[in-house]
């Protein structure tokens, strides 16, 4: 799959390579109203990674349903809509708007967003608020729901268990890690919003460990994400217990990265004489 926010709405890439070969496309985080996002600068380099503070710039759910879903309805590749809100009610309303829309195969719930009613703590930072969002979304839609966990929490396995109990169909992880950079000449933070999210190869060992922990704690399918650039990275996540993976930051440098990773996995399976990827899931746990 593509990771949310790194592959637009998929439409931007359909002329570059055969995106229909991918497992799924997860679109940019979508909110009830359109958003312009955060002030510039919104991107900064980090060693082996990237800091971003895009701030959920997106066209809003109405335009998504009107303009994007009809295109997706003609695609073979399933599209999953990533949703983001500031209140539990926002998430529920988004889920209910997307329910039954042709071209939308599932919802990925981004719980890394600040809960404005709880002083701005991320919904996903505690098991309780993560479960509340999941319950509300589940009640509002018949679509399968993936709940995307934040690494910015004390115990991600606890959050995963709460979300599983609340009715998630699958769990994806991880979102970016909180970080910042400072321009020493200006003596000011480099990002307009001060704080950003760290992604890319720098976070892979952290993401892999969290996937390993979560896959050991829940019985749901786990979708691994964080720093996957090559097929060998993806295979590590699968061996840690992921049933599927997402490619994010790597697509920004090489839009074809998700397909390269997929083809690399197929090549590895052939080379190892494995017929079914399922045989590799959790192989490093046994
Ligand atoms: C520019 C950018 C925008 C992102 N936007 C979103 C978003 O809208 N919703 C979301 O859930 N995750 C978003 N993410 C997080 C990614 O989907 C992914 O979880 C994270 O970057 C880790 O994977 P990676 O190291 O492969 O990029 C964004 C990441 C980047 C780099």
176 lines ligand 1 (CB under 6 A): yes
Residue nearest to atom 18 of ligand 1 (CA): 175
Q: Do 153 and 212 touch, CB atoms closer than 8 A?
A: no
Beta-ladder partners of 225: 246
Residues carrying an active site annotation: 113
CA dist., res. 107 & res. 252, Å (int) = 23
Q: Do 254 and 260 touch, CB atoms closer than 8 A?
A: yes
Instruction: Specify the ligand 1 atom closest to the Cα of 247.
Output: 26
Pocket test for ligand 1, best of 2, 199, 252 (most atoms within 8 A of CB): 199
Which pLDDT score is estimated for 120? 87
What CA–CA distances, in Å, run from 267 to 203, 231, 233, 261? Answer: 25, 9, 14, 10
49 lines ligand 1 (CB under 6 A): no
Instruction: Specify the ligand 1 atom closest to the Cα of 43.
Output: 1
Q: Convert the pLDDT of each residue in 78-87 to its tens digit.
A: 999 999 999 9
Which pLDDT score is estimated for 137? 98
Instruction: Determine which helix (DSSP H) or strand (DSSP E) holds 173, and give its type and residue range.
Output: strand 170-173
Which pLDDT score is estimated for 117? 86
Residue nearest to atom 2 of ligand 1 (CA): 5
Mean pLDDT, consecutive 10-residue stretches, the chain (286 aa), reads 98 97 98 96 96 96 98 98 97 98 98 88 95 98 98 97 98 97 97 96 98 98 98 98 98 98 98 96 94
Instruction: Specify the ligand 1 atom closest to the Cα of 29.
Output: 8
Question: pTM to 2 decimals?
Answer: 0.98
Beta strands in 49-165 (DSSP E): 49-52, 79-83, 106-110, 145-148
Residue nearest to atom 6 of ligand 1 (CA): 5
Pocket test for ligand 1, best of 5, 156, 211, 254 (most atoms within 8 A of CB): 5
Q: Is there a cis peptide before residue 41, judged by omega within 30 degrees of 0?
A: yes
Residue nearest to atom 5 of ligand 1 (CA): 5
Instruction: Specify the ligand 1 atom closest to the Cα of 203.
Output: 25
Residues 6+ apart with CB under 8 A from 83: 29, 30, 31, 61, 91, 94, 95, 98, 107, 108, 109, 110, 137
CA dist., res. 252 & res. 87, Å (int) = 30
Closest to 83 measured CA to CA, from 67, 97, 72, 95: 95
Which pLDDT score is estimated for 47? 96
Three-state DSSP class for residue 250: helix
Three-state DSSP class for residue 233: helix
Q: Convert the pLDDT of each residue in 103-125 to its tens digit.
A: 999 999 999 998 888 888 899 99
Token pair 């440098």 in the structure block, residue? 253
251 lines ligand 1 (CB under 6 A): no
């Amino acid at each position: 799959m593509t990771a949310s926010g790194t592959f637009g709405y998929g439409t931007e890439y359909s002329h570059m390579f055969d995106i229909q070969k991918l497992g799924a496309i997860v679109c940019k985080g979508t909110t009830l109203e359109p958003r312009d996002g955060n002030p510039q600068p919104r991107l900064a380099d980090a060693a082996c990674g990237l800091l971003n503070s895009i701030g959920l710039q997106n066209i809003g759910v109405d335009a998504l349903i009107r303009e994007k879903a009809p295109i997706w309805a003609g695609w073979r590749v399933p599209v999953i809509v990533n949703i983001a809100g500031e209140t539990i009610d926002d998430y529920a309303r988004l889920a209910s708007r997307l329910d039954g829309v042709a071209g939308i195969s599932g919802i990925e719930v981004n719980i890394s967003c600040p809960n404005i009613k709880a002083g701005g703590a991320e919904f996903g930072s505690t098991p309780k608020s993560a479960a509340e969002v999941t319950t509300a979304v589940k009640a509002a839609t018949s679509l399968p729901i993936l709940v995307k966990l934040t690494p910015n929490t004390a115990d991600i396995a606890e959050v995963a268990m709460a979300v599983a109990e609340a009715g998630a169909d699958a769990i994806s992880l991880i979102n970016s890690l909180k970080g910042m950079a400072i321009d020493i000449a200006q003596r000011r933070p480099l990002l307009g919003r001060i704080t950003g999210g760290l992604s890319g190869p720098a976070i892979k060992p952290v993401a892999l460990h969290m996937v390993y922990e979560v896959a050991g704690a829940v019985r749901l399918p786990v979708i691994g994400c964080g720093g996957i650039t090559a097929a060998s990275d993806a295979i590590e996540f699968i061996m840690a217990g992921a049933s599927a993976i997402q490619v994010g930051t790597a697509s920004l440098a090489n839009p074809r990265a998700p397909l390269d990773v997929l083809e690399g996995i197929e090549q590895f399976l052939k080379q190892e004489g494995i017929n079914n990827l399922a045989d590799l899931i959790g192989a490093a746990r046994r």
